Amino acid sequence: MTKLFPTSTVGSLPKPSWLAKPETLWSPWKLQGEELIEGKQDALRLTLDDQNRAGIDIVSDGEQTRQHFVTTFIEHLSGVDFENRQTVKIRNRYDASVPSVFGAVAREKPVFVEDAKFLRTLTKKPIKWTLPGPMTMIDTLHDGHYKSREKLAWEFAGILNQEARELEAAGVDIIQFDEPAFNVFFDEVNDWGVAALERAVEGLTCETAVHICYGYGIKANIDWKNSLGAEWRQYEEIFPKLQKSSLDLVSLECQNSRVPMDLIELIRGKKVMIGAIDVATSTIETPEAVADTLRKALQFVDADKLYPSTNCGMAPLSRQVARAKLTALGAGAEILRKELSA
């Protein structure tokens, strides 16, 4: 990007109420068959329109075509049973009903490639597409086959690489892997987590990003955050390894978080998506508050590498709130651009 401080969202945005129940994770679709396909495409147009009106520079599909950022991808793979779901504890925090691996996993057909092609026809702006990261995938299902987190993660990394190469060919400019599990399983991240992620981006020429956050604004995550003490130093455990990785961008939670900003110094040289919008509250940030967070981050990120963004996805928020937060993000970045050019 030649524009200073290009804005983007982390990923998900609320869906229209005629497509899925609002303000709910894993909300079931309200349409079926051809109507569902058309409904998802209509929702994608609307979410793109919201982003354009808010002055978002790097646009996305707002995850309008998926029920959930991890399970929808997994449900497209063979070797996974998504009808007989199992309950597992996600990131040592909360129970969820998830698909179960019963045999060798494989991607028999593309998952999001047609959706990405459709979005490409609607905009000339750079497109960012999100995929789940290998470690977060294994943490969001039941494994009755490999019985090894590492082994299954490597299988998923190969599958993600196939999908990523086709997304790149479809015209996606940045492919982002969501790895909230990186904030929990530090030993695994350092042993094989970053290596598996690098396998997922192998051979790509587009830019690649990794998103590491403290989760959606659901109760289990908020309770967990409240247990983390005065300073959240989780990033400190994994940044040195990420700094040496081949990933181009790192996406972080900064707004209203207790992450000491100076930790960002540990990934100096990377482009950093600074979360300047809190997704765990419906209170709308002022553009000045957004600019203030970005200004603080500027001490630790070079200006040409600072990408204003949201803390995480906004799927659980109301559409009205999400739109207002997008607008604040666009306006906050503009304040900082003016300051720097003055």
Q: How far apart are CA 199 and CA 161, in angstroms?
A: 7
Residue number with CB closer to Zn ion (213 or 274) = 213
CB 251 to Zn ion: min, Å: 8
Residue nearer to Zn ion on the CB measure, 98 or 213: 213
Q: Please state the closest distance from residue 116 (CB atom) to Zn ion, in A.
A: 20
Q: Among 213, 273, 329, 331, which residue interacts with Zn ion (rule: CB under 5 A)?
A: 213
**In Å, how far are 37, 272, 290, 335, 338 from 342, measured between CA atoms?**
48, 23, 19, 11, 6
Task: Measure the CA–CA gap between 192 and 199, rounded to whole angstroms.
Answer: 10
Which residue's entry shows tokens 């479809």?
170
Question: In the structure encoding, which two tokens stand for residue 113, read together?
Answer: 């490639």
Q: Which is nearer to Zn ion, 170 or 213 (CB)?
A: 213
Subset of 219-248 contacting Zn ion (CB under 5 A) = none
77 vs 312, beta carbon nearer Zn ion: 312
What is the closest distance, in whole angstroms, from the C-beta atom of residue 250 to Zn ion in the complex?
A: 12
Question: For residue 308, which of 320, 316, 296 has the smallest C-alpha distance?
Answer: 296
Backbone angles phi, psi at 261, to 5 degrees: -55, -30
Identify the three-state secondary structure at position 302. coil
CB count within 10 Å of CB 309 equals 32
Specify the stretch interacting with Zn ion by CB under 5 A; choose among 107-115, 146-154, 210-218, 265-273: 210-218
Least Å distance, CB 211 to Zn ion, is 6
What DSSP state is assigned to residue 283?
S
Return the closest-CA partner of residue 13 out of 330, 322, 278.
Answer: 322
Residue 66's DSSP bridge partners are none
Within 8 A by CB and 6+ apart from 292, the residues are none
Looking at the chain, which runs of residues are DSSP E strands? 78-90, 94-106, 128-132, 142-143, 174-178, 207-212, 249-253, 271-275, 306-309
Q: How far is the CB of 93 from Zn ion (least distance, A)?
A: 13
With contacts defined by CB under 5 A, how many residues of the chain interact with Zn ion? Answer: 2
CB 12 to Zn ion: min, Å: 9
Contact (CB, 8 A) for 173 and 126 = yes
Tell me the window of 78-86, 160-168, 281-289, 304-312 that interacts with Zn ion (CB under 5 A): 304-312
- In the complex, least distance from residue 272 CB atom to Zn ion, rounded to whole angstroms: 15
Window of 86-94, 152-160, 207-215, 324-332 that interacts with Zn ion by CB under 5 A: 207-215
Site for Zn ion in 60-99 (CB under 5 A): none
Q: Judged by CB under 5 A, does residue 312 bind Zn ion?
A: yes
**Closest distance between Zn ion and the C-beta of residue 313, in Å?**
6
> Considering beta carbons, is residue 258 or 338 the nearer one to Zn ion?
258
Closer by beta carbon to Zn ion, 280 or else 312: 312
Range in contact with Zn ion (rule: CB under 5 A) among 65-73, 91-99, 218-226, 310-318: 310-318
If the CB atoms of residues 155 and 178 are measured against Zn ion, the closer one turns out to be 178
Q: Pick between residue 141 and residue 314 the one whose CB is nearest to Zn ion.
A: 314
Strands 94-106, 78-90: parallel, antiparallel or unpaired by DSSP?
antiparallel
Residues of this chain that interact with Zn ion (CB under 5 A) are 213, 312
